[in-house]
Amino acid sequence: MFNRKTATSSMISFESVTKTYPGPSRSAADVVAVRDTSFTVDTGTITVLAGSSGCGKTTLLRMVNRMVAPTSGRVLINGDDIAHMNPVQLRRKIGYVMQHAGLLPHKTVAENIAVVPRLNGASRTEAKRSVDRMLDMVELPADMADRYPAELSGGQAQRVGVARALADEPRILLMDEPFGAVDPLVRTGLQQQLVDIQHELGTTMLFVTHDMSEALRLGHQIILLAEQGRIMQQDSPTKLVEQPANAFVEDFLGLNAVDKTLRTRTTEDGRTMIVDAHGRPAGFLEQA
Amino acid sequence: MNWVTNNLETIISALGWHVALSVPAIVAALLCSIPLGWLAHRLPRYSGPIITGSGLLFAIPSLPLLIVLPVLTGAGMRDGSNVVIALTLYGIALLVRSVADGFNSISSETRLAATALGYSGFRRFLTVELPLAAPIILTGLRVVTASTIALCTVGAVLGIPSLGTLFTDGFQRQILAEIMTGIILTLGLAGICDALLVVLGKLLMPWQKQVA
Ligand SMILES: Nc1ncnc2c1ncn2[C@@H]1O[C@H](COP(=O)(O)OP(=O)(O)OP(=O)(O)O)[C@@H](O)[C@H]1O
Ligand SMILES: [Mg+2]
């Protein structure tokens, strides 16, 4: 559908998109979720949308697969306005990972992963091959294929969610706080896997999070949003940290927090440990 | 016991009729309730009228219904179709709410996932919504099955054959064994059908670890 090469290197462009939802009651004012937001996502890169709750991240993400229609403005994929594409066909070409994996409870792990290849017309054997390959890629044991989602841990379900989204090798992957519900250790593992997968497949990814350390770890480009999808800064992780554009960005990075001051302490084995204001270890100091 | 061995043919014929009248009614009630219940789920504004309206069908007294139906359909007074239609209506009365509850029980997260994956229209209904609503529909279907098998006996009063014939006949001729046979077989048939539904549910819904 949109794998043909175009002159531009941007895969997804948001052109002054606005989304208003009808208010909760007839007399209530409309809710403006996103107002006049524009940005682009480069082909083969990870763009992270970060920002506090309710700033319109999910709304922007869902505009890409037409689960949300912009009230005004356009979303282009490879230069083509997606408003003219068949939404069902479009969704079958775009991977989508939800916050709690969103696995279909009545289908096994294998059946869940096979959904999109099957919808796109793959035979059972072809789909089976995709399933095996994807399980391997997200490092899940092959014998997990016949389990039902209710029999998985949160982290395993999340891996299956990623595997399912990537099973038909989409050019675009949308992820909405995919690792929010798993513990920090598993999260770090999943993030690393995602970076590896992106490297291997060259997928263009749009990733939503409100965890700044996750954003800094994953993003080639980070877009920091304030309420109504207002872009506060759009930069590489390094630029964002080294040159925060304003106080909002500094606050979000936690640079101004009172208890962010770090101290050093010498441990019994003679190493220098860094501790935060509460005495919690933050790491060890090493001479560069 | 003697009566039973001497009248095996009568008993088997009554049982056969009973199955032949109640099973089609149960299936027809299910087939009619699925679209009605789905509509009640899709159109929240009309869900009250649809569910209450169909539920009121159950308030129609059975004997008058069995007398009026042949007038409407043109079938004979003793035609089995009267019983099948009446039982179907009662089945619908009990089942529409379960079907609507079943569809309503699907989490919005699952719906969103199905949309995002690229399911469309009928395929999504058949392969995502219906299976996920099925456990609750099955609970309703078990009630309908028991109630249909019990109600089916009423036809006997008008001379439509079923296990009920064994009560009416046994009552008229004062044969206790015949009455008892009718009662035991009706209960037994209901029990067996319920067990079959439970097994079927386990086979068709393997993701449901505890089908009660
Ligand atoms: N279907 C809807 N109807 C009405 N208002 C909505 C709807 N979806 C979102 N909103 C509103 O739009 C705004 C943006 O919502 P959105 O879900 O995009 O935020 P978000 O950045 O993803 O937040 P979070 O981090 O909490 O997921 C919020 O104020 C929300 O209440
Ligand atoms: Mg969100």
pLDDT in tens, A101-130: 899 999 999 999 999 999 999 999 999 999
**Identity at A284, one-letter amino acid code:** F
CB half-sphere exposure, B153, CA atoms < 13 A: 21
Q: What is the pLDDT of residue B108?
A: 93
Q: What is the pLDDT of residue A274?
A: 85
Asked if the model's pLDDT at residue A260 lies above 80, the reply is no
DSSP A258: G
Average pLDDT over residues A204-226: 94
Q: Tokens at residue A125, please?
A: 């054997």
Rounded distance, CA B164 to CA B186, Å? 8
The structural domains of chain B, ordered by start, are: 2-204 (1.10.3720.10)
| Helix, strand, coil percent values for chain A (each to nearest 5) | 35, 25, 35
Any CB–CB contact under 8 A between B118 and chain A? yes
pTM above 0.90, yes or no: no
Q: Tokens at residue B162, please?
A: 């079923």
Contacts 24+ apart (CB under 8 A), B195-204: B197/B138, B197/B141, B197/B142, B197/B145, B198/B142, B201/B134, B201/B135, B201/B138, B204/B134
* A55 alpha carbon, closest ligand: 1
* Residue-wise DSSP of B2-61: HHHHHTHHHHHHHHHHHHHHHHHHHHHHHHHHHHHHHHHHH-HHHHHHHHHHHHHGGGS-
**ipTM for the assembly:** 0.87
Q: What is the pLDDT of residue A185?
A: 84
What residues of A are in the B interface, CB distance below 8 Å? Answer: 65, 67, 88-92, 96, 98, 100, 102-108, 115-116, 119, 148-150, 164
**C-alpha B133 – ligand 1 centre gap (Å):** 28
- Do B80 and B17 touch, CB atoms closer than 8 A? yes
Phi, psi of A19 (to 5 degrees): -135, 120
Contact residues of ligand 1, CB 6 A cut-off:
A 21, 31, 33, 53-59, 210
DSSP A22: P
Q: Is residue A1 very low, low, confident or very high in pLDDT (cuts 50, 70, 90)?
A: low
Asked if the model's pLDDT at residue A4 lies above 60, the reply is no
Within chain A, which residue ranges are assigned CATH 3.40.50.300?
4-259
Q: Tell me the three state secondary structure of residue B207.
A: coil
Asked if the model's pLDDT at residue B56 lies above 70, the reply is yes
Any CB–CB contact under 8 A between B94 and chain A? no
Average pLDDT over residues A234-261: 85
pLDDT in tens, A65-106: 999 999 999 999 999 999 999 999 999 999 999 988 899 999
Average pLDDT over residues B145-174: 94
Among candidates A47, A1, A13, which has minimal Cα distance to A215? A47
Q: Tokens at residue B95, please?
A: 């089942």
Asked if the model's pLDDT at residue A8 lies above 70, the reply is no
Note the maximum CA span of chain B: 68
B118 and A119: CB-CB below 8 Å?
yes
Phi, psi of B133 (to 5 degrees): -85, -15
Chain B residue with Cα closest to A166:
B117
Average predicted confidence (pLDDT) for chain A: 90
Rounded distance, CA B168 to CA B153, Å? 9
Domain A4-259 falls in which CATH fold? Rossmann fold (3.40.50)
Strands A263-266 and A272-275: antiparallel
More confident residue, B144 or A182: B144
Measured at the alpha carbon of residue B14, what is the angle toward residues B9 and B18, in degrees to the nearest 5?
Answer: 150
Q: Is residue A6 very low, low, confident or very high in pLDDT (cuts 50, 70, 90)?
A: very low
Burial code (b: 16+ CB inside 10 Å, e: under 16) for B164-173 equals bbbbbbbeee
Q: Is residue A7 very low, low, confident or very high in pLDDT (cuts 50, 70, 90)?
A: very low
Ligand 1: which residue has its CA nearest to atom 29?
A54
Rounded distance, CA A31 to CA A177, Å? 22
A102 and B113: CB-CB below 8 Å?
yes
B116 and A65: CB-CB below 8 Å?
yes
Measured at the alpha carbon of residue B62, what is the angle toward residues B102 and B136, in degrees to the nearest 5?
Answer: 10
* Of the candidate ranges A274-278, B125-129, B136-140, the one whose mean pLDDT is the lowest: A274-278
Rounded distance, CA B22 to CA B155, Å? 11
Rounded distance, CA A169 to CA A122, Å? 13
Average pLDDT over residues B51-79: 91
- Do B99 and B133 touch, CB atoms closer than 8 A? yes
Q: Is residue A258 very low, low, confident or very high in pLDDT (cuts 50, 70, 90)?
A: low
Average pLDDT over residues A254-274: 80
pLDDT in tens, B10-31: 999 999 999 999 999 999 999 9
Q: How many Å lie between the alpha carbon of A167 and the closest alpha carbon of chain B?
A: 11
B207 and A116: CB-CB below 8 Å?
no
Phi, psi of A243 (to 5 degrees): -130, 70
Q: How far is CA A119 from CA A3, A90, A169, in A?
A: 19, 12, 13
Q: Tokens at residue B40, please?
A: 């009640």
pLDDT in tens, B92-103: 999 999 999 999
- With the C-alpha atoms ordered A14, A56, B109, A159, is the resulting torsion angle positive or negative? positive
Q: What is the pLDDT of residue B211?
A: 42
pLDDT in tens, A9-61: 779 999 999 999 998 888 888 999 999 999 999 999 999 999 989 999 999 99
Any CB–CB contact under 8 A between B74 and chain A? no
- Do B60 and B183 touch, CB atoms closer than 8 A? no
More confident residue, A276 or A61: A61
Ligand 1: which residue has its CA nearest to atom 25?
A53
Average pLDDT over residues B71-77: 89
Q: What is the pLDDT of residue B93?
A: 95
Q: Best mutation site among A104, A112, A175, A176 for testing chain B: the one with the most B CBs within 10 Å? A: A104
